[in-house]
Amino acid sequence: MDSDFRAVAVGAVARREYVAAGDAYTRAAWDRLAEPREGHSPFDADGKGWVGRALQRLVLAGVCYRVAGRDERARHRGREGVAIASDLEGTLTAPGQGACLREFAADFRVVGRLDGAGDAYDDAEQAYREAGVTDPQTLTTTPLFQGAAGPLKQVARGLDDGEIAVSWEDLHGPDPDDASRFLAHRAAFKRQRLPTLLDRSVEAGYLAAPRGTTEYNNANFQCPDCGSTDVNWVTEHTLCLRCSTPMDPQ
């Protein structure tokens, strides 16, 4: 079950109240970090890496603060995230998990405007190449890896009319049979794209809500802002797929 704080965060994003969204995502992260899954400690070995959801929320908190112009708060989240990701390397020791945590650490450096992001992505890329993963396609569907992909996708879709702007295929290499190269592409892709996409989002002063369940041309709803009838249902909210505004029922 997801934290109620995430629903609060999504609602604040929809209202473009990005400081409030950053606060709620921070609380969602702390809440999930304390117990990544019911009855599960963040210090327990976990092949799926449920703590990735908490790290995802913390990255998004920093993104929201950046969009709101609260760079100092974003730096705090960045520093926290780097420390947490580094600490968890002693817990999440299954093949590939340490590399994903280093990917997270690089993301936190970008979001927090901390030094060394490029080197951190290089470190993650090398760690993926040395990880010895045998089934990368299954690994990338785990909460840890999905959590690391989520913020990039959310930032990107806000710059592409709400569509899926970064696909699973974009993020990974072309050949899953070459596991090390397939996974290392994640770090290389993010090094190239995340800083630019985030800067564009900050310049626009806009962050989209995450993509949930969607439907195009739904006659029961219309966006009061842009007039779209394309719907995005996420957490407890019914939002415009295009601009993330709360939808009006018709």
| Pair (115, 232) in one structural domain | no
| Pair (248, 143) in one structural domain | no
| Pair (196, 218) in one structural domain | no
- Per-residue pLDDT tens listing for the chain (250 residues): 566 999 999 999 999 999 999 999 999 999 999 999 999 999 999 999 999 999 999 999 999 999 999 999 999 999 999 999 999 999 999 999 999 999 999 999 999 999 999 999 999 999 999 999 999 999 999 999 999 999 999 999 999 999 999 999 999 988 999 999 999 999 999 999 999 999 999 999 999 999 999 999 999 999 999 999 999 999 999 999 999 999 999 8
| Pair (50, 95) in one structural domain | yes
| Pair (180, 220) in one structural domain | no
Contact residues for 35 (Cβ-Cβ < 8 A; gap 6+): 41, 42
Number of structural domains (the chain) is 2
| Pair (125, 219) in one structural domain | no
Residue 146 near residue 51 (C-beta atoms within 8 A): no
Instruction: Return the pLDDT at 27.
Output: 97
| Pair (187, 227) in one structural domain | no
How far is 93 from 99, CA to CA, in rounded Å?
Answer: 10
| Pair (169, 216) in one structural domain | no
| Pair (126, 30) in one structural domain | yes
Range of the domain at 245: 212-250
Contact residues for 148 (Cβ-Cβ < 8 A; gap 6+): 52, 55, 56, 100, 103, 104, 107, 186
| Pair (96, 143) in one structural domain | yes
Q: Quote the crossing angle between the two packed helices 97-111 and 71-88, to the nearest 10°.
A: 170
E-strand spans in 7-71?
A: none
Per-residue 3-state assignment (H helix, E strand, C coil) for 206-243: CCCCCCCEEECCCCCEECCCCCCCCEEEECCEEEECCC
| Pair (153, 233) in one structural domain | no
How far is 85 from 102, CA to CA, in rounded Å?
Answer: 7
CB atoms within 10 A of CB 244: 27
Instruction: Return the pLDDT at 173.
Output: 87
| Pair (54, 34) in one structural domain | yes
